[in-house]
Amino acid sequence: MARRLATAALFLLALAIGAVAFLYPFLRGVAASEGAGAVPLLSAVLVTLCLAVLLVELQGQAAGAKTVAMLGILVAATSTLRFIEVAIPGPGGFSPIFAPIILGAYVFGPRFGFLLGAMTMLVSGIITAGVGPWLPYQMFTAGWVGVTAGWLPHLRRPRAEVAMLALLGLLWGFAYGAIMSFYTWPFLVGNAQTTWSPGAGVADALRRYVAFYLTTSLLWDSVGAVGNVVLLAALGAPTLRALGRFRDRLLFAVRPS
């Protein structure tokens, strides 16, 4: 019970820190340079929280170690997809990594999903030389993709499950780009009606941001959203069956008679 509470507390803390990090452009009087200066701290905090969750999980029964082992396998596989994506860029904002994050999180739960998303971005960023000030923001957002997938109800009909996950992939195709734009928006110079203005009120900042997103990112993100739907519709059912079998075999516990 104590292990579960500790894991939940660390998990919620990571979600809260990420939310504050993304919402800083809407806070009055906050300068863009201050947000950039917080990046190393965000990276250190997020990686520390992820490792803390893993350590807490390992303190439990054998199922905890098996879960971490499964997490490592999926992170390695998904990071390889990111490497392929960098080597052979797809159209628009399409990325093949979100489908396995959604599927893995749906089978293994929201905490697993958060770690799968965050650690995938960290490992793939290292192997593709994609480490930069954007990395902690990518880790937070990919983690949230996993969290929402893990929260979905488990349906009895496979087709309904795949349709539900494909809808989630569609929504996250747009949401991922919209959330990540929070990070880049304060640093860009352009139309006075769409650029970030320090000290602006929340309503004015939201209006500017919506105009910025519609004119710069919507079409790009729509390609990623459609790609998520195609991958989940094509590979969702067999992947769910395979992951379900792994879960049933790895997460059993032997009780002495």
Q: What pLDDT does 234 receive?
A: 94
Residue-wise pLDDT for 36-64, tens only, equals 555 556 666 767 776 676 666 655 554 56
**Range of 149's domain?**
2-250
Taking the C-alpha atoms of residue 237 and residue 203, their distance in angstroms, rounded to an integer, is 43
What's the pTM? 0.82
Q: What is the pLDDT of residue 56?
A: 67
- Hey, how many other C-beta atoms are within 10 angstroms of the C-beta on 100? 21
Tell me the residue length of the chain: 257
Copy the structure tokens of residue 121. 């971005």
Residue 215 in domain: yes
**% residues pLDDT > 90 (the chain):** 28
- The tens digit of pLDDT for each residue in 153-187 reads 998 899 999 999 999 999 999 999 988 887 777 76
Establish if 222 belongs to a structural domain. Answer: yes
In angstroms, the CA 213 to CA 21 distance is 19
Quick check: is 240 in a domain?
yes
Reduced to 3 states, what is the DSSP secondary structure of residue 213? helix
Give domain status of residue 255, yes or no: no
Number of neighbours of residue 31 by Cβ within 10 angstroms: 12
Establish if 246 belongs to a structural domain.
yes
Number of structural domains (the chain) is 1
Q: Residue 188 has what pLDDT?
A: 66
In a domain, 35, yes or no: yes
Is residue 257 included in any domain, yes or no?
no
Residue 148, pLDDT above cutoff 70: yes
Stretch 105-131: mean pLDDT: 87
CB atoms within 10 A of CB 136: 27
256 falls within a domain: no
Q: Which residue has the higher pLDDT, 204 or 108?
A: 108
Rounded Cα–Cα distance for residues 165 and 234 (Å): 12
Q: Compute the distance between CA of residue 105 and CA of residue 152 in angstroms, rounded to an integer.
A: 9
CATH of the domain at 66: 1.10.1760.20
